[in-house]
A and B are shown apart, each in its own frame.
Chain A
């Protein structure tokens, strides 16, 4: 078994680390406080090729493997989970969806600018009444002959405002329930699309999250991804891949928190010595390190399976559930280790803790991941 990373993977990891630690760190606190979108970083990361990492170079992508993507996501997330969720949605939901299931027309028109980062994408599945239960789609796409007419509301949409391209999941045949759900790709500026206000979130505040309302929006037939009724399978398959990105994000939050806690513990003195020399703290750090190592191994294994073309749905569910849950534990413990300083924004760890919470909720809650995992055991 070879646990070594290739030269290219190490270079990609280093590039992400350098950008995060040199550039993202500069304004991450200010953007979190003011919930400002990281426009200049999106542009810079797009130029470096981080927006379409795994897409084939013939469609402007980087042609990199999923392991490289996990490494990059971890490094970016150590510093800025808002930025990394923008990267993740673009890479492993939108680009992946079009790359795997789009036809040539859709790839030429939509995938190319997304992969180059010229445009960014959003994935519209969740609704006010449908989160974990994605079968209860209320957004309707009516077949009108040469186009579909879409009406409904989607919520919690990452990149809703900054995106130019949407992947939309809607009901084409309510009678068929989840077998009557269909996937579409469309231009965000289509007439009839309007956005709700920017959500005032607990964490990942620099990424833009809005509700999206569809009022008689026309979607050309050629924008349908796959056949009618394929949409639910499409969404589930795409989320399997997206799960790896979010698992890597949670990993980064945890490993970033651990790094900060170790550095602080070596400096801070109490009772005559660095707190790192007190076993209570040292043992906390030990527990955190084991959790981070486990999370990393799960993420890399899921990525490795995906790269080999093998089934990876259970592996990615395990990675996402575990990494998110330990991210919450490790970031909370990091705040504790920092004591009073951990409670103020300047020391970053309170932000990491706020950000970790969302990783347990979105792109499939930890509970949903457990359904996936337990079903695979009990089949």
Chain B
């Protein structure tokens, strides 16, 4: 079985986000890029499965849609233990575009893992879209994944508990935190070997966009909170009527 893990290249979570001049994107100057945290969990689980079932899983490959700027992030994934990285050479403008690009290379992988969301736009769309484009089953909110003979034992979190499913391949699993206990730290050996592993660059296919960003805005700054004494209901009513204008 070959596993494909989708890797998003996102700003480090401590970055102070600034918008570009026309507010349709972020200012990338000085931004540190990392593997999308949810994809990192997915990659960790993929490595755990490969180590536990060395005979059954032949390779773990990672893929990203992005410019050459994303290659250091892909090499981080290679350092953690992925066997090969694929970069589809295009700007990742929206989820439909990304899913369309990934569809050209993803079909040959029996198991595809996608993080449930990315920490930049939190779209939660690429996994589901890719599954549909490949016409394969997908399962979301996956917090547990294991091999059982030639099938996959999938655990998903649902309201009030956990659901356990036995799935056949091909499958796309949309995973969330819990899929792996802790993100794997790359060993020194892995880091030094990352550049020796294949990083294939693939040309993009023609594709439309399903969305376009009109404008990005910061949320309005919250006004200071007015504290009203608990027995002063008259004052509270006055404020709600005259200032907040909700009565």
Q: How many A-B pairs fall under 8 Å by CB? A: 41
Given the contacts A63-B192, A64-B192, A11 and B186 also touching, CB distance less than 8 Å = yes
Q: What is the bound-complex CA distance between A140 and B174, given in angstroms?
A: 67
**Are B185 and A62 neighbours in the complex by a CB distance under 8 Å?**
no
**Are A11 and B79 neighbours in the complex by a CB distance under 8 Å?**
yes
Given the contacts A11-B76, A11-B79, A19 and B185 also touching, CB distance less than 8 Å = yes
**Are A7 and B188 neighbours in the complex by a CB distance under 8 Å?**
no
Residues of B near A12 (CB, < 8 A) are 188, 191
Which listed segment binds B: A47-55, A170-178, A193-201? A47-55
Whether, in the assembled complex, A8 has its beta carbon less than 8 Å from a beta carbon of chain B, the answer is yes
Q: What is the bound-complex CA distance between A66 and B21, given in angstroms?
A: 42
Of the candidates A18, A19, A47, A62, the one whose C-beta lies within 8 Å of that of B192 is A62
**Are A15 and B192 neighbours in the complex by a CB distance under 8 Å?**
no
Residues of B near A47 (CB, < 8 A) are 187
> When each residue 299-333 of chain A gets 1 if its CB lies under 8 Å from chain B and 0 otherwise, what string results?
00000000000000000000000000000000000
Whether, in the assembled complex, A375 has its beta carbon less than 8 Å from a beta carbon of chain B, the answer is no
Q: What is the bound-complex CA distance between A49 and B75, given in angstroms?
A: 18
Chain A: minimal CB distance from B197 (Å): 13
Whether, in the assembled complex, B182 has its beta carbon less than 8 Å from a beta carbon of chain A, the answer is yes
Chain A: minimal CB distance from B180 (Å): 14
Chain B: minimal CB distance from A3 (Å): 15
Residues of B near A57 (CB, < 8 A) are 192
Nearest to A22 among chain B residues (CB) is: B182
Q: What is the bound-complex CA distance between A115 and B133, given in angstroms?
A: 49
**Are A15 and B188 neighbours in the complex by a CB distance under 8 Å?**
yes
Of the candidates A18, A22, A49, the one whose C-beta lies within 8 Å of that of B188 is A49
Q: What is the bound-complex CA distance between A22 and B195, given in angstroms?
A: 27
Q: What is the bound-complex CA distance between A12 and B75, given in angstroms?
A: 13
Q: How many of chain A's residues have a CB under 8 angstroms from any CB in B? A: 17
Interface residues of B toward A: which range? 10 to 19
Given the contacts A7-B72, A22-B182, A49 and B79 also touching, CB distance less than 8 Å = no
Give B64-99 interface residues, CB cut-off 8 Å to A: 72, 75-76, 79
Whether, in the assembled complex, B113 has its beta carbon less than 8 Å from a beta carbon of chain A, the answer is no
Q: What is the bound-complex CA distance between A47 and B75, given in angstroms?
A: 20
**Are A8 and B185 neighbours in the complex by a CB distance under 8 Å?**
no
Chain A: minimal CB distance from B35 (Å): 11
Residues of A near B183 (CB, < 8 A) are 18
Q: What is the bound-complex CA distance between A119 and B85, given in angstroms?
A: 35
Nearest to B32 among chain A residues (CB) is: A10
Whether, in the assembled complex, B189 has its beta carbon less than 8 Å from a beta carbon of chain A, the answer is yes
**Are B72 and A15 neighbours in the complex by a CB distance under 8 Å?**
no
Give A31-82 interface residues, CB cut-off 8 Å to B: 47-50, 53, 57, 62-64
Whether, in the assembled complex, B154 has its beta carbon less than 8 Å from a beta carbon of chain A, the answer is no
**Are B72 and A62 neighbours in the complex by a CB distance under 8 Å?**
no
Chain A: minimal CB distance from B91 (Å): 22
Q: What is the bound-complex CA distance between A48 and B182, given in angstroms?
A: 15
Q: What is the bound-complex CA distance between A64 and B193, given in angstroms?
A: 11
Chain A: minimal CB distance from B18 (Å): 21
Residue among A7, A47, A62 having the largest count of chain B Cβ atoms under 10 Å: A7
Residues of B near A50 (CB, < 8 A) are 188
Nearest to A10 among chain B residues (CB) is: B72
**Are A49 and B194 neighbours in the complex by a CB distance under 8 Å?**
no
Give B165-222 interface residues, CB cut-off 8 Å to A: 182-183, 185-189, 191-192, 194-195
Beyond the given pairs A11-B194, A19-B185, A62-B188, 14 more chain A to chain B contacts, judged by CB atoms under 8 angstroms and listed by A's residue number, are A7-B72, A7-B75, A7-B194, A8-B191, A8-B192, A8-B195, A11-B79, A11-B186, A12-B188, A22-B182, A48-B187, A48-B188, A49-B187, A50-B188
- Interface positions of A (Cβ within 8 A of B): 7-8, 11-12, 15, 18-19, 22, 47-50, 53, 57, 62-64
Q: What would be 11 A-B contacts, judged by CB atoms less than 8 Å apart?
A: A8-B191, A11-B191, A12-B188, A15-B191, A18-B183, A22-B185, A48-B188, A49-B189, A62-B189, A64-B188, A64-B192
List 10 A-B pairs, minimum CB-CB distance, nearest first. Answer: A49-B188, A62-B188, A11-B191, A48-B187, A18-B185, A49-B187, A15-B185, A7-B72, A49-B189, A19-B185
